[in-house]
Structures are given as C-alpha cells and as structure tokens.
Structure 1
Amino acid sequence: MTIENHNRVELLRSDDFAQYLLHEPRQIKQILRALVDNRALITTYLPSGNQSFLTAMLALIDDEERLVFDASKEGAVNRRVAEAEELICATQVDGIKIQFPLDDIQEVTFEGRDAFLAARPDRLLRLQRREFYRLVAPITHALNCVIPLAQKDGPPRRLEVRVLDISGGGLAIAVPADEDVFSPGREFGDCRITLPDFGAITVRIKVRNLFRVTNRNGVEVLRAGCQFVDLPASANNLIQRYIFKVERDRSARERGM
C-alpha cells in the first residue's frame, strides 16, 4: 500500500473528523438522494486501499434503507467487490467532500445492468469548511516536523520527520519503521513545523492512528495520523495561509501562469 493511496481513505478512520460524521438517518438519506439525482461519480476503494473504481449511485430502495450502485466494467474488480466486507466511497458535490462506508454487499441486476446492492451507511462524513481539508504536502517544498523525544539520560532527542499532509485539525507524518515510541494516544509537546515562506510554529500533537506502509521506493515507514492539541490561533492562521498559498500556486501552475 502506498502512502498516497492511504491518504484518500483515512478520513472515516480518523478521530480528527469525528465531529463531522453524520449519524442521523434522515440527513444521510437526503445526501444519498442527491448523489442519485446528480449521478455523481464516486470513487470506491476496496479493502486493501490500493485499488479503486469509479461508480455511481443508481437508486435507493426498501424505504431508502438500501442502495444500488453501478458495477465496474472489470470482472476481476467486481469479484473483489462481491467478497468485500466493507467499501469506502468518496466524492465531492459542490465542493463538499463526502465519504461513507458500504457493507452487506450483494450482486444484483438493476434495470438490465450489472450492479451491487448495499445497506444504507450508518454514518457519513460531510466536510464543507476549507480549513478542515487536508493538504498533501508538495514534493517541491518539503514540509518537516521536529519532535523532541524524552531520553532517560541527557537532553531530549530531536527526531525530524516528513509531514505527509496537514490541516487545521492535525497532520500525518512518516516515522521511521524502527521508532517504537509512537503509539495511539501518545502526546508530544514542543513540536516545531517550518512552513515554507511563513516561518515556524510550535505545536502539541497527539497520535490518533498508526499504520505500517511502504513508499514507492520500497522503504517501509510508519504513518502516524496526529491531532493538534490546543492549537494556538496564531499557528492555525499560519497553517491556513500556507494551505491557501500552496493551493493558489498549484492552480497557477495548472493554468500555465
């Protein structure tokens, strides 16, 4: 699994966004109806996280407690979908990021076409505030974080790690695979992040999840998803300005400016 693939499906598994999860059936059904009406393209990730396919919601049935979604054109993908215990679906509607899981999946024929039937999701993530989108750190401007690690004897050891993505709520970092001090719930204070063109900020982070992944170059690392703890308003402001600048520069390059 590559780090890039894992970023796309982390939201539902991260406590950073728990407050943006919808659980009320009426709200979830309303959003699913909009996806059906708009025939929104939905990226659906298979359990391994390193394979996905595009689909669309075709209908809500059984008092909107089950939904029908289009099958892939590839038979091998459909076989994996039929065997999956859970899929993660992600899409955007009017700039709003939507993500939800699907389970209880069955192969069906719907209006003469191959399709799948699944239970209505019991939770759905709906993110519309810009500051909570995670920005994947650009390769051209490395974003690093220096974490002081307490030692039994002597001053703290300073561990410099690469920031994979960042938002107003937290960040993900790549930790060497042999580091054993990182575990969910562990907090690290006085961490220093240098934001190119904006300077350094000092933050406290709390590890929320930890995954062992392999980079494209074959090097195995730990990917630690972290939450900011009591983030100062001044630091949050710099993070938002940094995200805005990176996105603006990226858009300018795409337009050829």
Structure 2
Amino acid sequence: MPEKDTSGKRQTASRQLLIRSQIEIAAVLGALANDKAPLAAYLEHGELLFLTRVLHVDAEAGHIVVDYGPSKRANSALLSSRTIRLHCERGGLHLEFLAFRPTETIFNDGAAVQFDLPEVMIQYERRLHRRVRIPPHLPLRCFVDCPGVGSFEARVADIGRGGVGTILHDPANRLEPGRVLTDCRILHPSRPPVRADVQISYSINTQLPDGTPVVRSGCRFIGAPDELAELTRVFVVELDED
C-alpha cells in the first residue's frame, strides 16, 4: 500500500508542483523577498499590469506584504479586487499563487499592500518557447523601414524567448508570409532599442477592443536573442504558444 504524502506537495501529470504546506509557501515567499524578485499580476481583463515585489512574510500572522507598483491605475484596480493571481520567475521555474484580500498598510514607513498568506502555490518548469504578453499600456513598439514595404510602426503583442511572437499593425501595410523585415528597431519606453530582423509567418485581419481594424501578423524575431530576452524580462506573465 503506498505511503501517504505528508510533505504538503503534489506533483501533477503536467510536471507542476502543487505546494500546500504553509511553512514551505512562507519559505518560498521569504526567498523571493530576499532576492527582490519581481512579481506581476494582470488586472481588468489583462489591460493593466501590476508589478511588485515581496517586502515581508509573516507566517504566524498569516499574511504577506508587497510593494505598491509604479502604475497608480493598476494599484487602484488591485485594491478594488478581492483576489489576484501573482506570477514570478525564479531559478528557471515559474511560480504562481492566488493572493486574497488586498488591503492598504504601512511597512517601514512606506505605503504597501497586505494579502492573506496564500493557501496554495503552483511551481512548474519554464518552457523555452512560452509567450510573454505585452500589456497595451506598456507598449513594446516595432519600427519598420524596409525596401518594398516602406516605413511604419507596429505594436508587439507578445513574444517568446525563442523569438516567436505577434505584431499588430495598420491594414494598409500588407505583409505576406515568408517576408523578412530587415533591421527593425524594437523599442521599450525605458530601455535601449534592439535591432532584429522580423520574419512573417502569417497575417490575419482582426480588430482592437474599441473596434479599430488591425492586422495580426505572426512572426519570428531573428537575431539579438539576449537583448530581446532582457527587453521583455519584466513582462513575466507568460502564455502558451498557439
């Protein structure tokens, strides 16, 4: 007869590790606090990104304290939520957990947010080609200036560490599958520009939530893999490949 697992962990078929031990959850969160590791949560149907880090863990009192994020709008949305899903990458692993009852508090003379200590934490290995969603209010832009296509600007909707991604652009710019856009500039508002070629794999007509028509082009970013990984490192909430 198999022995009962009393470790507070359960390995799922998809190589996920489900952690239920409050002692171990507190230890993991404490390590994140020591590392000052960034955590993220998407709010308002993915339109807002809340970025934070763990400031304090009190296992005995049953709560954690996190920092306010740089976006006032995201902070306000956070405090209006009953629960959020926080994500973090650490040591090649992806961690996520639900955080309940956000309330304002003071920690080390600064404003902060307190949550209940999570009851469950999920840990799984990060895949090589998972996608990183780029929130609309924190734009990652791709500037194209290529013979035969002309000059235009596209928004990077998502990008994976393997270079696979998606761009959104004006329908006036027709991009056929197989076309390579050379020497494109990929810009984040607070990071140095990255230059890379962009190879188009498909293009479909779609529209933004406000009804604006756009073309969604699947692509692969070629070259500068380290720079692209660093550029998108902050966007830690990942999506599976289509």
TM-score grouping bracket, smaller chain normalisation = 0.3 to 0.5
TM-score normalized with structure 2 length: 0.48
Structure with the higher strand share, 1 or 2: 2
